[in-house]
Structure 1
Amino acid sequence: MEISALQKERAGYQPKLPKALQGAVKIKEGEPTKSVDNQDDIKKLFPNTYGMPLVEFVPTDKTESKAVNVGVILSGGQAPGGHNVISGLFDELKKLNPNNRLYGFLMGPGGLVDHNYIEITADFVQQYRNTGGFDMIGSGRTKLEQVEQFEKGLEIIRQLDINAIVIIGGDDSNTNACVLAEYYAAKKYGVQVIGCPKTIDGDLKNDQIETSFGFDTATKTYSELIGNIERDCNSARKYWHFIKLMGRSASHIALECALQTQPNICLVSEEIQAKDQTLNDIIEHIAGIIAHRAAQGNNYGVVLIPEGLIEFIPAVGRLIQELNDLLASHGADYKDLEPAAQREYILTHLSAGNRSTFETLPEGVAHQLSLDRDPHGNVQVSLIETEKLISEMVGAKLAQWKKEGKYNGKYSALHHFFGYEGRCAAPSNFDADYCYALGVSAVQLIANDKTGYMAIVKNTTASTDEWKAGGVPITMMMNMEKRNGEMKPVIRKALVELDGAPFKEFAARRDSWARETNYVYPGPIQYWGPADICDRTTKTLQLEQAK
């Protein structure tokens, strides 16, 4: 495999571990836990893995360890640092017992079901240390939720004498990990299941998970690109750049990138929902800022838009909810119709209020909202060109104002969508260290006979030595939500908190960013140099931890 000079140098980087994970480890158990909501329902669904205590790893003199073989799965979208989780798993397994083995199931959870795997060896893992992507074993979006899948997976688990499965994924993947852990525990199969918190979106976060891995690297990557565009914008002084950023369910990426780059406008979906704003409210807000800057002779600027914005506009959100139910129950009647007939079918089946909203949407957007859902039952919002929709509607509003004599500037828009550009970047030092520590923690959870836990690392704005590692029962993070027309147990997504420190910091400064040109150009991720540049965490984490 050909490697770049950067990859060659990065291969030699030894991730830093918390003191508690540097030698032999024992666990300190906390109080029993309960789910964040719907306690009775969750307890009934997970009787064998509910109510377990939080655990923290502390140093010990004990060194003996049982022999274990472990299988690892990368699940869902890519996030920088996944290879370091696997590196941490491998190194810690071999440290505990050189005879321990690590198997990688190929192309996601489907690899377990279909018995596609490789053994991960020292030479093999060496090629992937501190690299981005999931290409070591590939990823996939197969959902583990059927008994036949669990039993089919068990066949290869028994064949390879595997004691535990580690699932590296986001909230849906870790929900599946919890379901699998419960099934194997109920059957007394003796197979442990451990999760690791991954998603660049930043919405797998709570009191126990300070940040999901990949968020740090992805937002630094996007912020470099946004900064480059801001500098170009400030050089040419003739374009408004509308930039859509990943984040279907929450606006953490957009908010973090705004804090790093100080654009003229950043929309936060959660605020729009809380204020019950309409699409027209949003358009008038943006057009008003453009008009104000034009009056100062500044016919240019940068707008950040979260990918999931459309779903958060309350009227559109209500429409989507009814469409989800409609497609879940009548999808078979609908899917083979021609586009015009599909539109007519939807209009005749919607309630009056939602029909009115559907009719007022641009036809392309309305069509996208009525397409097939993703495997988790969600609208595929990445297919909706929200940035173009908004810039065109803003252009129409400005043209109307020009006729009315309210606006006399020039408006020219350019569009960008930053998504895949950030998912496989070489991990920052923070993500390289954090992911490696998560891998080591996962092995220690296995060595201490835990199942249905997610590996966690806390105190992450302190120096790496002072990070605290342990595990949280996955059931603690769960509640019941409607998916594909049915109530299902899922890990609760973390949205941007409007009374949280990151949003408050943004809200306090955005008016001056709108009026003035206060762009910040973060530049590329730095891997070597002063720690305050190379090891710094996200603005979000700094503000949340008040450091």
Structure 2
Amino acid sequence: MEKSALQQARKAYLPKLPEALKGYVKVKEGAPTNSVDNQEEIKKLFPNTYGMPIVEFEPSDVEAGQAMNVGVILSGGQAPGGHNVITGLFDTIKKMNPDNKLYGFILGPGGLVDHKYMEITADFIDDYRNTGGFDMIGSGRTKLEKVEQFEKGIEIVRELGIKALVIIGGDDSNTNACVLAEYYAAKNYGVQVIGCPKTIDGDLKNSQIETSFGFDTATKTYSELIGNIERDCNSARKYWHFIKLMGRSASHIALECALQCQPNICLVSEEIKAKNMTLNQIVENICEVISYRAKQGNNFGVILVPEGLIEFIPSIGKLIEELNDLLAAHGNDYKGLDPVAQREYIMAHLSEENKQTFATLPDNVARQLSLDRDPHGNVQVSLIETEKLLSDMCAAKLAQWKAEGKYTGKFSALHHFFGYEGRCAAPSNFDADYCYALGTSAAHLIANGKTGYMAIVKNTTAPTSEWKAGGVPITMMMNMERRNGEMKPVIRKALVELDGKPFKEFEMQRDHWAKETCYIYPGPIQYWGPSEVCDRPTRTLALEQE
């Protein structure tokens, strides 16, 4: 494999580990746990993996020395640091016993079902240390939820002598890991399943998971780009930049980038939902800022838009819920129709309130809301050009104000969508260390006989040596939610908390940022140099852990 100078230098980087993971470990168990909600339903669905204790690793003098082969799966969208989870896992199981083998299933969970795999060897894995991407073994979005999939998986697991599977994924992927762990436990198959918390969106976190891996690197990558645009914006002084940022459900990425870059406007979906705002109210608020700045002679600015905004506008959210149920129940009737007939079909089946909302949407947005869902039943919001929708509506509103003599400025909009640019960036020092510790923790969870657990690392704003590692039962994070027209057990997504410190900090500053030009230019991720530059956590994490 050809390597850049940066890759070659990063290959030599040795991730820092918490003291508790540097040698042999023992497990300290806490009290039994309960799910975050719907306890009776979750307990009934997961009788073999419910109620287990949180565990923490402590240094030990006893060598594990266990013989165990392990399988690893990358699931869902890419996130910086995934390769380091695998290298941490590999190094630790080899340290336990040099004969242990690590098998990677190719292109995600589908590789387990279709028996597509490779043995990960020392020579092979060395090229991927501290690199971005999931190209080591590839990823996929196959859902593991059917008995025939579980049974196909056990065939190859037994053939390879695999003791445990490690599934590296987000909330939906780890929900699938929990279902798989329960099935194998119920069948007494003797196969463990461990999850790892991955998603750049930042919505897989709770009292035990301080941050999901990849969020640190992705937000720093986006913030560099936003800072570059802010610098250009403040130089040309003639454009309003509408920047849509990844994050299909929560606004964590947009909020973190706002705290790092101080744009003129950052929309937070959770606030818009809480205030029951309409699309027109959002546009009017933006236009008021544009008009104020125009009066100061500043016909330019930067606006951050979270990817999932549309779903959080209450009237549109209600429409999406009904559309989800409609498509789940009548999808086959609907799919064969042409676009015009599909719109008529939807209008004929919607309730009166949602029909009115659907009718007011631009055709391209209405079309996207009524297309096939992703494998987890979600609207494919990345396909909706929310940033262009908002700028078009702002242009129309400002033209109306100009005709009424309320606005005298100039409005020119440029559009950006930052998504894939951040998902496969070379991991920051934080993510390189964090992910390596997660992989190491996963190996120790396996060695200690755990299944249905997610590897965790806590105390992450302290120096790395003081981080605490262990595992949390996945059932502890679960509740019941409607998916594809049915109530299903899923890990609860963590949304931006409007009474949390990160949002409060943003709320305190945003009026000043709207009126004045207060841009910050973070620059590129730094790997070598002063610790305060190279190893700093996200603003979100620092504020939450104060």
| Shorter-chain TM-score tier | over 0.9
User: Aligned equivalents of 2:134 and 2:545: distance in 1?
Assistant: 30
The residue aligned with 2:47 is: 47
Alignment of 1:153-172 (within 5 A): 153-172=153-172
**Aligned residue in 1 for 2:417:** 417
Show the counterpart of 1:91. Answer: 91
1: CA distance between counterparts of 2:485 and 2:54?
Answer: 33
The match for 2:528 is 528
**Distance in 2 between residues matched to 1:34 and 1:76, nearest whole Å:** 27
Separation of aligned partners in 2, 1:322 and 1:441: 42
Residue 23 of structure 2: aligned partner: 23
TM-score (norm 1): 1.00
Summarize deviations over 1:186-233 as a string: whole Å, max 9, x none.
000000000000000000000000000000000000000000000000
Aligned mates of 2:514, 2:31 — CA distance in 1: 48
CA distance in structure 2 between the aligned counterparts of 1:2 and 1:462, rounded to whole angstroms: 36
Aligned match of 1:67: 67
Shift of residue 47, structure 1, vs aligned partner: 0.2
What's the counterpart of residue 476 of structure 1? 476
In structure 1, the partner of 2:242 is: 242
Instruction: Compute the displacement of 1:336 (Å).
Output: 1.1
Partner of 1:228: 228
* 2:108 counterpart residue number: 108
State the SS of the aligned residue for 1:304.
strand
The residue identity in structure 2 corresponding to 1:241 is: H
Task: Measure the CA separation in 2 of the matches of 1:302 and 1:326.
Answer: 38
Structure 1 partner of 2:356: 356
| Aligned-partner residue type, residue 131 of structure 1 | T
Determine helix, strand or coil for the equivalent of 1:203: coil
Output the CA distance in 2 between the equivalents of 1:120 and 1:248: 32
Which residue of the partner structure matches residue 517 of structure 1? 517
Q: Quote the residue 1:194 is aligned against.
A: 194
Q: Aligned partner of 2:259: which letter?
A: L
Indicate the SS of the match to 2:162.
Answer: coil
Output aligned runs, 1:140-539, within 5 Å: 140-539=140-539
Aligned to 1:78: 78
Q: CA deviation at 1:423?
A: 0.2
Give the match's secondary structure for 2:128: coil
Measure, in 1, the Cα distance between the counterparts of 2:147 and 2:363: 42
Tell me the secondary structure at the aligned position of residue 79 of structure 1.
coil
> What one-letter code is carried by the residue in structure 2 that aligns with 1:123?
D
CA contact (8 A) 2:33 2:54 kept: yes
Per-residue Cα deviation, 1:100-153 (whole angstroms, up to 9, x for no partner): 110000000000000100000000110000000000000000000001010100
Q: Which amino acid aligns with 2:103?
A: Y
Could you say what secondary structure the match of 2:497 adopts?
coil
Secondary structure of the equivalent of 2:57? strand
The amino acid across from 1:31 in the alignment is A
Give the Å deviation of 1:363: 1.1
User: Following superposition, which runs of at least 4 residues in structure 1 exceed 3 angstroms of deviation?
Assistant: none
The residue type paired with residue 167 of structure 1 is I
Once the two structures are aligned, what percentage of the paired residues are identical?
80
RMSD value over aligned CA atoms? 0.4
Distance 1:482 1:323 in 2: 13
Distance 1:325 1:49 in 2: 30
CA–CA separation in structure 2 for the residues paired with 1:133 and 1:186: 35
In 2, the alpha carbon distance for the partners of 1:409 and 1:100 equals: 68
Q: Equivalents in 2 of 1:331, 1:190: separation in Å?
A: 39
Query: Aligned partners of 1:391 and 1:426: how far apart in 2?
Result: 33
CA drift of 1:295 comes to 0.3
- Residue aligned with 1:372, SS: coil
Assess if the C-alpha contact under 8 Å between 2:368 and 2:384 holds in 1: yes
**1:131-185 CA-partner distances (Å, limit 9, x unpaired):** 0000000000000000101010001100000000000000000000000000000
Counterpart CA distance in 1 for 2:181 and 2:380 is 29
Aligned residue type for 1:369: L
For the residues of structure 2 that align with 1:64 and 1:51, how far apart are their CA atoms? 26
Range that drifts further, 65-74 or 436-445: 65-74
- CA distance in structure 2 between the partners assigned to 1:246 and 1:370 by the alignment: 21
Q: d(CA) in 2 for partners of 1:179 and 1:170?
A: 14
Residue 511 of structure 2 aligns with an amino acid whose one-letter code is: D
In 2, distance between residues paired with 1:64 and 1:375?
Answer: 39
Question: TM-score, normalization: structure 2?
Answer: 1.00
Which residue is equivalent to 1:119?
A: 119
Distance in 1 between residues matched to 2:354 and 2:150, nearest whole Å? 40
Instruction: Output the CA distance in 2 between the equivalents of 1:52 and 1:214.
Output: 28
User: How far does residue 66 in structure 1 lie from its aligned partner after superposition?
Assistant: 1.9
> How many angstroms apart in 2 are the aligned matches of 1:65 and 1:193?
20
Q: Deviations over 1:489-520 (max 9, x none)?
A: 00000000000000000000000000000000
Partner Cα distance (1:366, 1:95) in 2: 55
Question: Retained in 1: the 8 A contact 2:33–2:51?
Answer: yes
Match of 1:36 in 2: 36
SS at match of 2:321: helix
CA shift for structure 1 position 338: 1.0
Instruction: Indicate conservation of the 8 Å contact 2:64/2:447, yes or no.
Output: no
Supply the distance in 2 between the matched residues of 1:308 and 1:46 (Cα, whole angstroms): 31
Q: Following the alignment from structure 1 to structure 2, what is the Cα–Cα distance between the partners of residues 199 and 288? A: 35
C-alpha spacing 1:64/1:253, structure 2 compared with 1 (3 Å): closer
Whole-Å separation in 2 of the counterparts to 1:523 and 1:194: 36
Whole-Å separation in 2 of the counterparts to 1:146 and 1:480: 18
Deviation at 1:65? 2.5
Work out the CA distance in 1 between the residues paired with 2:179 and 2:348: 38
Cα-to-partner distance string for 1:295-336 (whole Å, 9 max, x where unaligned): 000000000000000000000000000000000001111111
Q: CA deviation at 1:64?
A: 3.6
Equivalenced residue count is 546
Q: Distance in 1 between matches of 2:159 and 2:352?
A: 57
Structure 2 counterpart of 1:317, one-letter code = G
Mapped contact 2:104–2:137 kept (Cα < 8 A): yes
Q: Deviations over 1:224-281 (max 9, x none)?
A: 0000000000000000000000011100000000000000000000000000000000
1: CA distance between counterparts of 2:359 and 2:291?
29
Looking at structure 1, the residues matched to 66 and 416 of structure 2 have their Cα atoms a distance apart, in angstroms, of 52
